[in-house]
Amino acid sequence: MVNLKINGIAVSVPEGSTILDAAKVANVKIPTLCYLKDVQKCGSCRMCLVEATGARGLVAACVYPVSEGMEVQTNTPKVRQSRKTTLELILSTHNKKCLSCARSTSCELQRLALEYNCDEDKFGSPEEYPVVDDSSVSLIRDNSKCINCTRCVAACDMQTVGAIGPIRRGFAKHIGSPFEVALADTNCVNCGQCIVACPVGALTEKSNVQQVWDAISDPTKEVVFYTAPSVRVQLGEPFGNPVGTNVEKKMVTAIKALGQNVKCFNMDVTADLTIIEEATELLSRVTTGGTIPMFTSCCPGWIKFIEHNYPEYLDNLSTCKSPQQMFGSLLKTYYCEKNNIDPANLFVVSVIPCTAKKFEVERPEMNLDTDVALTTRELAKMISEAGIDFNAIPDGEYDNPFEIATGAGAIFGATGGVMEAALRTAAVKLGGEGQPIEFSEVRGTDGVKEAEYTIGGVTVSVAVASGLGGARKIMEMIKSGEKNYTFVEVMACPGGCINGGGQPYVPDEIRNSIDVRAVRANALYTYDESLPLRQSHKSPVVDLLYKEYFGEPNSHKAHEVLHTTYTARNKFN
């Protein structure tokens, strides 16, 4: 252990710790911008400068290692002046359209500028700002607000996608895609991890809010929403609830209050349906010598990733549509037929913690069954705009016939959840009743998790990737022949959908101090435990769907409505 003093407070920290780590132990706050736990630590923005004995000049606390007897001062006139000037220089090129900015009040630069009493016009403003790249259907890059912290680049590299990077140098430096290609024409998978890493408003989702308002106020349209498993444990945060609060029932009430006759369904229903279809497909592949390992296909970020990087493995993907797209198709077919609605008049909105789902909606093979995919953030914005007092409204229930789902569907929102849900059902199919419900080996936020189960004489070897970095590791092990899996689950975002690119912004102070992914995932597992049904094959809604519409899993009709195809893409574009 190393002993040092931060502002006179004695602390003892492990060797190799940084001053920033030690300051946390001493409960001393040091401001940061380019630093983000688990994403980037490079000491380039100079916000975290402090005075330390033994150092020449001010040092960057996020990277400077502690040493025995060191005395650190984080709040001297010199330090404060330096930070203030740094901020004012950043502000000199920042497009200060704060009032209408999506990050206003959640912007790290805005908060620091206020804390340090900055003059945003001290060094003037540029005559011209860079142009906005709005080519992507999922996200918008507005470099006029970019502060070149490169957190987005670090997030993209962590995903091993590398669609963006710093270009040129000095004053000409900016973040963009190689050869200045528009983002839509790159290998970007639309995961949105760059958006949630961005400290300012340079990266945002492409908003579909207006389209939804238009549909709600159109008397010829019937508007139906359905909410993804993880949204219930995220939506409370923008309304002041602690991370991991389950607000499902208030969420349902709020959605229905957005307009008259707005219905709200539970997407967990098609998560359950996915399990039945996918488990049937897997068992059929295993017994008939089909392509193994089979990969899950719920995550559109992963789908685009494999299409660019491992197109030779597209046959390994389950042909099941994602729960979002299954739901869209189900609504435009089964639901419309049953209720005598013209599909053209049914406006279908999915609410997801994901920006890649916006791209998925627009894939040609998806037929625009789901009209719009809204992120959790956009839904929160609509709720605020509608003047709904979120914390005060009464609890509500999902609408018939898609209201009841199982805990297996709910855990789809966390890494390992699809695998665990599949195992719950596969175990019963292979070994009969009385099988375990929980498979803890596949839980947790590690990049790669592996397990082997023998049920009813059949051994299945499974792997779970949390984040595309983990997915690439698994793919390389499969490619080299090092590993032979039966079934592989991939969620593009580290931690799964609970940490998706469309989740509410988490203030950096919270993100740097707790594992938001684990807290939200726990909330989903707690919810799962509280439900009377925890295995997808026990879902009465799924049962009804097969009885009334599909006949049996993987039937011709099921293939028509619930399955899809994939497209090989180039590595870089």
Q: Please say which residue, 163 or 282, places its beta carbon nearer to another protein.
A: 163
Sign of CA dihedral 158, 360, 573, 207: negative
Q: Of 108, 248, 360, 489, which is the active-site residue?
A: 360
Concerning whether 529 is annotated as a catalytic residue, the answer is no
- The SS3 of residue 327 is helix
Concerning whether 497 is annotated as a catalytic residue, the answer is yes
* Residue 157 interacting with another protein (CB under 8 A): yes
CB of 166 to another protein, least distance (A): 5
The total of other beta-carbon atoms located within 10 Å of residue 474's CB is 23
* Residue 179 interacting with another protein (CB under 8 A): yes
Whose structure tokens read 């699809």? 418
Q: Of 222, 281, 378, 489, which is the active-site residue?
A: 281
* Residue 177 interacting with another protein (CB under 8 A): yes
Q: Please say which residue, 56 or 168, places its beta carbon nearer to another protein.
A: 168
Concerning whether 278 is annotated as a catalytic residue, the answer is yes
Q: Which two tokens stand for residue 166?
A: 């710093």
- Give the pairing of strands 49-52 and 71-73: antiparallel
CB of 16 to another protein, least distance (A): 22
Concerning whether 84 is annotated as a catalytic residue, the answer is no
Q: Which residues contact 509 (CB under 8 A, 6 or more apart)?
A: 29
- Give the pairing of strands 458-466 and 9-13: unpaired
Q: Which residues contact 512 (CB under 8 A, 6 or more apart)?
A: 32, 35, 36, 37
* Residue 571 interacting with another protein (CB under 8 A): yes
Stretch that binds another protein, among 17-25, 73-81, 162-170, 346-354 (CB under 8 A): 162-170
Q: Please say which residue, 156 or 195, places its beta carbon nearer to another protein.
A: 156
* Residue 572 interacting with another protein (CB under 8 A): yes
Stretch that binds another protein, among 68-76, 155-163, 224-232, 434-442 (CB under 8 A): 155-163
Q: Of 98, 101, 118, 497, which is the active-site residue?
A: 497
Q: Which two tokens stand for residue 3?
A: 């002993």
* Residue 162 interacting with another protein (CB under 8 A): yes
Stretch that binds another protein, among 81-89, 171-179, 233-241, 358-366 (CB under 8 A): 171-179
| Sequence-ordered strand ranges (E) for 186-275 | 203-205, 222-227, 263-266
* Residue 44 interacting with another protein (CB under 8 A): no
- Give the pairing of strands 294-295 and 448-455: unpaired
* Residue 469 interacting with another protein (CB under 8 A): no
Binding-site member from 168, 171, 342, 532 for another protein (CB under 8 A): 168
Stretch that binds another protein, among 178-186, 200-208, 453-461, 496-504 (CB under 8 A): 178-186
Of 101, 93, 100, 109, whose CA–CA distance to 31 is shortest? 109
DSSP 536: G
d(CA 244, CA 266): 19
Whose structure tokens read 């595309």? 468
Binding-site member from 2, 167, 209, 477 for another protein (CB under 8 A): 167
Q: Please say which residue, 546 or 572, places its beta carbon nearer to another protein.
A: 572
DSSP 175: E
CB of 178 to another protein, least distance (A): 4
d(CA 52, CA 73): 6
Q: Of 84, 357, 358, 449, which is the active-site residue?
A: 357
DSSP 317: B
CB of 450 to another protein, least distance (A): 24
Torsion angle in degrees (nearest 10) through CA of 504, 505, 510, 514: 50
CB of 308 to another protein, least distance (A): 12
Binding-site member from 27, 99, 169, 532 for another protein (CB under 8 A): 169
Sign of CA dihedral 496, 498, 504, 509: negative
Q: Please say which residue, 70 or 164, places its beta carbon nearer to another protein.
A: 164
Size, binding site for another protein by CB under 8 A = 18
CB of 306 to another protein, least distance (A): 17
| Sequence-ordered strand ranges (E) for 401-507 | 448-455, 458-466, 487-491
* Residue 396 interacting with another protein (CB under 8 A): no
Concerning whether 281 is annotated as a catalytic residue, the answer is yes
Q: What are phi and psi of 408, to 5 degrees?
A: -65, -40
CB of 185 to another protein, least distance (A): 12
Whose structure tokens read 């540029």? 126
Q: Please say which residue, 91 or 191, places its beta carbon nearer to another protein.
A: 191
Q: Judge whether 496 and 447 are in contact, CB under 8 Å.
A: no
Q: Of 318, 350, 466, 539, which is the active-site residue?
A: 318
d(CA 47, CA 64): 13
The 275-314 contact track toward another protein, x by CB under 8 A, reads ----------------------------------------
Question: From residue 463, how far is each of 64, 339, 557 by CA, in Å?
Answer: 38, 42, 31
Binding-site member from 37, 89, 134, 165 for another protein (CB under 8 A): 165
Binding-site member from 20, 91, 163, 348 for another protein (CB under 8 A): 163
Determine if the peptide bond prior to 507 is cis (ω within 30°).
no
Residues assigned a catalytic role: 278, 281, 298, 318, 357, 360, 365, 497
Q: Which residue ranges make up the site for another protein (CB under 8 A)?
A: 153, 156-157, 161-169, 177-180, 571-572
